[in-house]
Every structure is written in structure tokens, then in C-alpha cells.
Chain A
């Protein structure tokens, strides 16, 4: 059972309490963007076998969106953080580097 800690209310929530929301840190394409950029934003997704950053909502708890870093093979959770930032916190990246030597953020 996947368990994530909600960074807002601090509850250790299991996955039936959460709603997955797909890849984190997508940058909305600006109105002048090319069709390729729009395609990239709308459809292309990171699909790594390993470290993945994703959005979750504490649907049956405080209801807020947050972000998580997780290994898609071992299901190990590296950490969760609030959704109001545009890239993962340095502290979390250091944690992942320590546990997954050789991994680099894209």
C-alpha cells in the first residue's frame, strides 16, 4: 500500500485517501507557443522507470494538492512537498541523490 505524508496537514495518508494527478512541474505553454510546444505540454509526459515527480491531492483529507517524489519500480517515497513551488526543493534532490547514486534531475 502506497503511503504519502500530506505536507499541509501532516497526515500519513494511504492511497485510497489520495487522488493521483499526473506529472508534476508541467509548465503551461504561453498563448504564442508553437503547436509543438502545445503538444508537448498537453500530451508528452515523463515516464521514467525510477525517480518520478508527481502531483497528488489529499482528496479525502484536507483536499489540497501537493507534490511527491517516488520511485516507480520499488515504490519508495523520497518525500512530499507543497505544490506552490516550480521545482523540487534542493533538500529533496539531495535525499534522492544519496539514495540513488548516479541519478540526476532532468
Chain B
């Protein structure tokens, strides 16, 4: 393990005086070894967080994190960076609130600035059904210890002056306000975790695709990868949209279908909006990044696909909804559009579970809302892998589908996350 300088104000001053030549690699580029105590497939936020907490909370440091493409290049780099925990069901509120609270101290914990900005999240109610739904969620959150509040249209206008309350189709009737929600820099979350994992002696291996899973007597023995075979005692599959592909290699099926979810950003403009607004009825959500771009979340395709692009008509629907809600955006040009492959389960809640293979665990099904859950998901998955059970993860086991213990968040969360 190599000595690594910490990031600090002093480090910036020191480097400013010597032409910035002393900055080190964020994480080490090490070769794949033959054997690990645990392998995590997928170096996105969830996979890296799992490895981080395996090392930090459970002392398991002989760990490799394998990534098919580049680190954080999947959904971790493709989301709209919204963090909130205003869910209806107790198991969801518990894991998302754990994640949100871990985001608060993440920059200090990782010694890496993830730019967590608790600017507040408003979910607009634009029908009477939605109004009653969010009032119910606000009461549920009060019992769960999650700070949210039902607010009036006037308060919405006060928090977000650019909003149009009296839209022609769906006037704003109020909102569910979570002041401690917000955004963070998504790439920094992956980079920060990768740096911390690398510091603990873990191997972060990029461009290493898993091509097969070797098992015998119901136990995983090792993996075939594009960089050669590797053995492991425990395997964690944390690959989001490609979970179905890995499960097929491991020989089991999942209640998961993969679809493309889109997002887009506008040209940068002066600061005009310092909260995150989600409008689920008309389906659009928006926040302003620190660069000034309006970050816009679009719709998910209704059919399976693996192209990281998405359908054109969803952009039209999203932009139409936003022009109605925020008339000033009608003159903005859009700069970039992209898609990520999200894994949707039947009840729209994630799976953090043991699998039919004894020492293989899976973390998937975060669907359209995984970014906000990264630290909580990693915390729970690491505990599950290390101890065989976790209070945060247990309700999200695979057998809930057979047993009918759904965690039905489609009402609370809808499509927008």
C-alpha cells in the first residue's frame, strides 16, 4: 500500500506554489491477481460503496472491484444526481435515509469533495390524488424520522420563484418538501470511493469484463474475465442494468427488466433555481448544476433495451412538461442528452439479496433511483456479504416476490426518482 497525501486547503496552497506537479493518481492501477476474499462486479457507485464498507466496517480488504468499462461510466455518470429519502414504505425510508445521512459526511469520510449540496427537494402535487398521496407520505415520514413537510403553493413559489403555479393542465396544489435533500457531484462519489478503496489495498480493475461464472455444488468458485480467470470466496454482483446478463451466467433468473432512462442538460445560465423540483404528474424534474446548466430528468422507455440512448418522444414529453411548469425554459437550448440502462423490478424497489448460489450476493433493481441510495446500499450490501444478513437489506431479499412481501413504492415514487 502506497502512502497517499490527503486533500486539504494546505495541499492546494502547496501545489499552487509548485506548478501542481505533486498531485497523485486518485486510485492505483493494479493488475488482476489470481485470488481474492471477495470480488465485486461493477465499479459504479453501488459496487464501490459495497467494497468501501466491506473494508471499513467489516475489515475485509483483500477485495477486487471489476469494471467492464471505465469507473463510474454507467448509471453513476448518467443520473440527475438527486438525493432524497421521502419514501412511503418503512424499509425504503430506512435505507434511503441512511444513504442521505451518509452523504452529509461523505466528503469528510472519504477526504474527497463530493459537493453534497442539501438545497432541498420539492415534489409537486398537481392532482388531488397526488396531494393526498404526498400528505400521507409526509405523515409516514414523520413516523419514520425523515424530515419532510407538506407545503402550500405559495411556499412552493417562495422557494422557487421561476415556477408557474397556474399551468393550463395541472396547477400546482402544493408540494412535499424535504429540506435536507439535494444533489451531489456524481462522478466525485465514484472517484472518492475508488480512492478510499485503493487506499485500503483493494484492486480497482477497469476494462475487465466478466465472461463467465464458475460454480460447483451451489457455490461460486471464481470468474472468467477478459483479463484472465480469478478465484474468490465471495462474489457480489452490482451491475444495475446488466444484472440479467450476469444472472444468466450464474444460472438463475431475476424479476428484473432493463430499460433506457434519459436525462438532458441545457446550456449554462445564471443561477435561477436553488432547489430540486420534481413534477411527477406531468413527468419532468429539474435542478440547476453549479456550472449553471439546468439538469433535466426524462422518461424511461416502456420496453426492454440496452441502448444508452432512449426514445425521442420522451424528450418531447419531458420538455413539454417543463415548459408548462417553468415557462422561462422555453428559450433554453439543450446541450447534451444521454441514456442509462436501469433495472426495473415488479414492485419498483431494489433487490439486495442472497442468491441461489451460496456465496454469491446481488444488489440490483434500483431502477430509476439508484444514485441517492449509493452509500446506504453499499452499507447494507457489505453487511449482508460479511455477516449473511443485514437489517437494512433483509426486507429487499429476492424471495419477497415468492412470498408476496412487496415493497410497493410505485405509488410513492412513480417513475421519477
Contact = CB atoms under 8 A, between A and B. Distances in A.
Contact of A20 (B254, B303, B402): B303
B302 interface: yes
Closest 4 CB pairs of A and B: A47-B244, A43-B255, A20-B303, A20-B302
B255 A45 contact: yes
B261 to A, nearest CB: 15
| B: interface residue count bin | 20 to 34
A44 B255 contact: yes
B391 interface: no
Nearest to A56: B303
A54 B305 CA distance: 11
Nearest to B244: A47
Given A22-B303, A52-B304, A72-B307, 14 more contacts: A36-B402, A38-B402, A39-B255, A39-B402, A44-B253, A44-B254, A44-B255, A45-B253, A47-B245, A48-B244, A72-B258, A72-B306, A73-B307, A75-B305
B351 to A, nearest CB: 11
8 contacts: A1-B311, A22-B257, A22-B303, A42-B346, A44-B254, A47-B258, A72-B304, A75-B305
A45 B402 contact: no
Contacts of B312: 1
Contact of B253 (A1, A40, A42, A49): A40
B401 interface: yes
A36 B356 CA distance: 13
B307 A75 contact: yes
A48 to B, nearest CB: 7
Most buried by B among A20, A38, A52, A72: A72
B313 interface: yes
Nearest to A75: B307
Interface of A: 1-2, 15-16, 19-20, 22-23, 35-36, 38-40, 42-45, 47-49, 52, 54, 72-75
Nearest to A35: B402
Contacts of A52: 304
A47 B307 CA distance: 13
B320 interface: no
Contact of B305 (A23, A38, A40, A72): A72
B304 A15 contact: no
B67 to A, nearest CB: 17
Interface of B: 242-245, 248, 253-258, 302-307, 311-313, 346, 401-402
Contact of A73 (B257, B305, B402): B305
B402 A54 contact: no
Contacts of B402: 35-36, 38-39
A35 B404 CA distance: 11
A56 to B, nearest CB: 8
Contacts of B306: 49, 72-73
Which of B245, B248, B256, B306: most chain A CB closer than 10 A? Answer: B306
Contacts of A44: 253-255
A16 B313 contact: yes
B71 to A, nearest CB: 21
B302 A45 contact: no
Residue from B244, B254, B302, B303 whose CB has the most chain A CB atoms within 10 Å:
B303
A43 B304 contact: no
Nearest to A34: B402
Contacts of A54: 303-304
A49 B242 contact: yes
Nearest to B258: A47
Contact of B313 (A15, A35, A73): A15
Given A20-B302, A72-B306, A43 B401 contact: yes
Contacts of A42: 346, 401
A95 B116 CA distance: 52
A47 B259 CA distance: 10
A45 B313 CA distance: 26
A60 to B, nearest CB: 13
Contacts of B253: 40, 44-45
Given A52-B304, A72-B305, A47 B256 contact: yes
Contact of A49 (B245, B256, B401): B245
A67 to B, nearest CB: 13
